[in-house]
């Protein structure tokens, strides 16, 4: 029985993805030959998840302070600062 094809987290292609060893955590890593990037299907550290930026935006819009956001998402303050900076740049370009 063949498993479902893994979709690249960066470019969205399915036919270019192949297995690419294991991470230190033991989770399977994948390589996309279409965009030449590696990724995992899931991450232990939540700061690496793809939808973390949208979660931070939502909590920030609700008026949560930085420490509450860090605690609720399980990320460090340094990672939160980096994402808030990316959000501010994105809002300036809109």
CA dist 13 → 35, 37, 61, 89, 91 (Å): 9, 12, 32, 27, 28
Q: Are 19 and 29 in contact (CB under 8 A)?
A: yes
- Res 21: pLDDT: 92
CA distance 91 to 88: 5
Q: How does residue 2 score in pLDDT terms, banded at 50, 70 and 90?
A: low
Domain ranges of the chain: 1-44, 49-93
pLDDT for residue 78 is more than 80: yes
pLDDT digits (tens, 9 = 90+) for 43-74: 665 556 667 788 888 888 899 999 999 988 88
């Amino acid at each position: 029985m063949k498993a479902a094809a893994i979709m690249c987290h960066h470019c969205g292609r399915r036919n270019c993805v192949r297995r690419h060893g294991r991470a230190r955590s033991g989770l399977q890593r994948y390589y996309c030959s279409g965009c030449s990037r590696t990724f995992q299907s899931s991450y232990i550290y939540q700061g690496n998840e793809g939808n973390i930026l949208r979660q931070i935006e939502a909590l920030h819009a609700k008026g949560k302070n930085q420490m509450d956001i860090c605690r609720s998402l399980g990320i460090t303050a340094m990672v939160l600062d980096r994402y808030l900076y990316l959000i501010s740049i994105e809002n300036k370009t809109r």
